[in-house]
Structure 1
Amino acid sequence: MYDLLVVGAGPYGLSIASHAAAAGLSMRVLGRPMASWRDHMPRGMFLKSEPWASNLSDPSGRWRLDGYCASQGVTARHGEPIPVEMFAAYGLWFAQRAVPEVDERTVTHVSAGPGGFEAVTQDGQVLPARTVALAVGVTPFTEIPPALRGLPASLVSHSVDHHDLARFRDRDVTVVGGGQAALETAALLAEQGTQVRVLARADRLAWNDVPPPWERPWWQSARAPHSGLGCGWRNWFYAERPGLLHRLPERTRIRITETALGPAGAWWVRERVEGAVEVLPGHEITAARPANDGAGVRLEVVHRGGAEGSAVVRSLETDHVIAATGFTATCDRLSLLSPDLRAALTRTACGSPRVTSGFESSHPGLFLAGLITAPDFGPAMRFVQGATYTAETLVGGVRRRLRAGGAGAAIPAPGRGGRSEAPAGARR
């Protein structure tokens, strides 16, 4: 029986695995490394986060993004975005050096079992563990506007469904949303010859400012310090003190999570959108149905920017709709958990599972990481920035849980990292 199973091998899962291995835990990490970044983001995208805020976490801080870039003859510079393909390759490089062997099988089911948990892999193997850390990323939580639900995938998709946008070349596509995913997807579509428009509910698009230089006069840094989530003391607090944010009242935490760092485009994508993409701000889809010829979608759209705030309804037809409308991370969408385990989780007011200061859910031994913990730890958990705090803190929580005796044997002394020994016959 393992001390810990890490389900998911993205930035959070790999970081947790690195810290767990260094702590001497018998552990295993399952999932295709960096799957979301390799399979669910169109080629040509860039990281919105600064390179120095996009590191995966190992206890020694040795395997950083800038080190990988240097090994490839590239300098990671403040204010210069990194291609998503390079970040995905960095994650694989990190996994090879900082993490025990990754089992690339998908976990299809997790349930409570004797002494802890049982996880079932895609080929039917059952893996027992005293504790489990779910680091499943964002793809289980995709949000599609109600008016578009029920239409076939040939007509409506989410932005995470696309690694290659070439299928839309010379077609008409409508992108829904006003954030980075929507705007960069629209830019890439326009640049390949797609007729593209953006529908956004907001009255106008928001754009992030060009970041100030890394080296600044002291008084500018004191007024608005750099942080992994942007400049300013508020962003610094969100990025650097998620443990303190966790102590705030639940209502306050949820409000911060829902309102901080709202939808906005990166400064470097603005010139690729303005003048190249039709943008319809203040528009919302109220109904959608297949077009009469079945080859496209007919949208009913309301614009509330008419005279004296009146609503103007219009119709438009498009070949395909891409909903870049974010994610809703709630307990109900943790479908790989058994129904009884999922139903037993204590929830916050917004439907996410409530977690302790050590990232443990209300079910002893079940730990959570990433986006789904944002209502408890704030907006840093929506970005790679949050992986370091999560990995360090969550592994500490796992050690406390095991030490308490309720989930299994005593904790081994922390090691120096490297590969953990698996139970006989457990490795593929």
Structure 2
Amino acid sequence: MNRTQRTPRTDRTQHVDDLVVIGAGPYGLSIGAHAAAAGLDVRVLGRPMASWRDHMPEGMFLKSEPWASNLSDPAGRHTLAAYCAGRGLPAEHGHPMPISAYADYGLWFARHSGPEVEERTVTAVAPHGDGCFRISTLEGPPLLARTVALAVGMLPFRHYPRALRPLPAELCSHSTGHRDLARFRGLDVTVIGGGQAAMETACLLAELGAEPRLVARAGGLNWNTPVKPLARGLLHRLRDPHSGLGTGWRNWAYAELPAAVRRLPAGKRERIAATALGPAGAWWLRERFEGRVPVLLGHRLHDAAAVGDRTRLALTGAAGEPVVLDTGHVIAATGFVPDLARLDLLDQNLRAALRRTGRGGTPELSAGFESSYPGLFFAGLVTAPSFGPSMRFVHGAGFAAGRLVRGVRRRLAGRGAQPGTSGAGAAALAPEAGHPKSFMG
């Protein structure tokens, strides 16, 4: 595929892109690939695979199976298996893949599929003129686009328990805040949470010479069972089919029928998004974890305070008894809560005007991932209450990218725009007076 080449303009008009994709993770890169193949004039802004490269500790592994973790291009050529085959790397069912190798795959995909990614830090997205959007960045003048796709991933939606929010950064961090856990060697660290991120973080801490403990509200830890072979008899396949989200008909429906999930009542969709495929550790982690990480189960955190260079946690134990922990650092592996209120880069008035799904804070979306504001599209975690739990995983990127780009084409056709042609927008725009919170990839 030919890479998009951009040359500076010398006149006083500004180019108007068909589509600007904000975010260069699996969803943003997949949308860019589909849009370029469809002939759209598209830009992808962000740091490619930023979450995977910068916010996951060394030594972590991909929990999903390699065959369920492909980024999506229309021809299906740039798969994880294709990348690994050219480098002698295993991409086999039942064999976990290092996160570092997966991040390298994403960078390879970005180089070979879709437009060249522009490492710009987006600070604001706002309506501009007649049906366009103005995208402000820290690097260079603003851009104009007829449509925008927000594929900002999970980082804007990091969740901290309320009790931990007042703590300073040197005493408390989120599990996505670390690339290198070696800084905690010799320090006692309390990890809050009961899912894969919590258990794998605690396990890595122990292996690096820290003294971790895990605190979880649940009365027990859930572990995924070892994966079943891909090659099975017909009866076994019919009884318990494989899918990109695991085995079983329920998981198969979530993985393969997101459009059907969207037709369910809003309340049911929200419950599915919040509860399906709940916290659980990967089967391959269990042997490394058990016996090495002390665990406090059934404990609820209700207060935290800095005491010198340490933190005192006030908990309620499984029997209702008070428990006080003194710890050197707290890592909140407490997941993500998608909410439009956290998207500071989106114009405040526009954000407030968007229709929400059910009672939650996520946008109501069309079958083409378009919000109630014409031309503004969403992808990734924030769309899970509309299309189901597959949008929480890379596996959903193919469905989302194809549907979203078709939605963009319909929107452009409705406006009478010809995809792939430049537009003379407003006159050159004046510099911003200031920048709100930013997002990059």
TM over 0.5: yes
Q: 1:397 maps to what in 2?
A: 407
Q: Which moved more, 1:112-121 or 1:58-67?
A: 112-121
* SS of the residue 2:400 aligns to: helix
Matches within 5 A, 1:251-270: 251-270=267-286
Q: Distance in 2 between matches of 1:244 and 1:257?
A: 14
Q: Distance in 1 between matches of 2:275 and 2:379?
A: 21
Q: 1:277 maps to what in 2?
A: 293
Q: Distance in 2 between matches of 1:328 and 1:152?
A: 21
Q: Distance in 1 between matches of 2:36 and 2:155?
A: 26
* SS of the residue 1:103 aligns to: coil
Q: Over residues 100-135 of structure 1, what are the superposed CA-to-partner deviations in whole Å (9 max), with x where a residue is unaligned?
A: 111011111100011310001112521000000000
- The answer (yes or no) to whether the contact 2:197–2:333 under 8 Å persists in 1 is yes
- The answer (yes or no) to whether the contact 2:17–2:422 under 8 Å persists in 1 is no
Q: Over residues 282-329 of structure 1, what are the superposed CA-to-partner deviations in whole Å (9 max), with x where a residue is unaligned?
A: 0111100012xx1110000111x22xxxx0111010000000000010
Matches within 5 A, 1:281-360: 281-291=297-307, 294-303=308-317, 305-306=318-319, 311-348=320-357, 349-360=359-370
Aligned CA distance change for structure 1 residues 324 and 423 (closer, same or farther; 3 Å) = farther
Question: What is the deviation of 1:18?
Answer: 0.2
Match status 1:183 vs 2:199: yes
Match status 1:171 vs 2:187: yes
- Count of matched residue pairs: 409
Q: Distance in 1 between matches of 2:182 and 2:423?
A: 43
Question: What is the deviation of 1:86?
Answer: 0.5
- The answer (yes or no) to whether the contact 2:22–2:46 under 8 Å persists in 1 is yes
Q: 1:415 maps to what in 2?
A: none
Q: Distance in 1 between matches of 2:361 and 2:28?
A: 23
What RMSD in Å do the two structures reach over aligned CA positions? 1.4
- The answer (yes or no) to whether the contact 1:173–1:195 under 8 Å persists in 2 is yes
Q: Which moved more, 1:349-358 or 1:219-228?
A: 349-358
Q: Distance in 1 between matches of 2:27 and 2:259?
A: 17
* SS of the residue 1:130 aligns to: strand
Question: What is the deviation of 1:421?
Answer: 8.2
Structure 1: gaps of 5 or more residues: 413-419
- The answer (yes or no) to whether the contact 1:402–1:410 under 8 Å persists in 2 is yes
TM-score in terms of structure 1 length = 0.94
- The answer (yes or no) to whether the contact 1:26–1:422 under 8 Å persists in 2 is no
Q: 1:199 maps to what in 2?
A: 215
Question: What is the deviation of 1:345?
Answer: 0.8
Question: What is the deviation of 1:75?
Answer: 2.3
Q: 2:26 maps to what in 1?
A: 11
Q: 2:61 maps to what in 1?
A: 46
* SS of the residue 1:41 aligns to: coil
- The answer (yes or no) to whether the contact 1:295–1:319 under 8 Å persists in 2 is yes
Match status 1:66 vs 2:81: yes
Q: Over residues 341-376 of structure 1, what are the superposed CA-to-partner deviations in whole Å (9 max), with x where a residue is unaligned?
A: 111111121211111111001110000000000000
Q: Distance in 1 between matches of 2:140 and 2:329?
A: 37
Q: Distance in 2 between matches of 1:421 and 1:42?
A: 42
- The answer (yes or no) to whether the contact 2:35–2:114 under 8 Å persists in 1 is no
Match status 1:161 vs 2:177: yes
Aligned CA distance change for structure 1 residues 422 and 150 (closer, same or farther; 3 Å) = farther
Q: Structure 1 vs Structure 2: percent identity of aligned residues? A: 60
Letter in 1 for 2:399: Y
Q: 1:411 maps to what in 2?
A: 419
Matches within 5 A, 1:76-87: 76-87=91-102
Q: Distance in 1 between matches of 2:135 and 2:380?
A: 20
Q: Distance in 2 between matches of 1:350 and 1:265?
A: 27
Q: Which runs of 4+ in 1 moved over 3 A?
A: 420-424
Question: What is the deviation of 1:422?
Answer: 10
* SS of the residue 2:316 aligns to: strand
Q: 1:224 maps to what in 2?
A: 240
- The answer (yes or no) to whether the contact 1:2–1:423 under 8 Å persists in 2 is no
Q: Distance in 2 between matches of 1:329 and 1:256?
A: 14
Q: 1:417 maps to what in 2?
A: none
Q: Distance in 1 between matches of 2:26 and 2:104?
A: 12
Letter in 2 for 1:38: R
Q: 1:381 maps to what in 2?
A: 391
Q: 2:121 maps to what in 1?
A: 106
Q: Distance in 2 between matches of 1:217 and 1:136?
A: 41
Question: What is the deviation of 1:423?
Answer: 8.8
- The answer (yes or no) to whether the contact 1:330–1:352 under 8 Å persists in 2 is yes
Letter in 2 for 1:325: T
Letter in 2 for 1:297: T
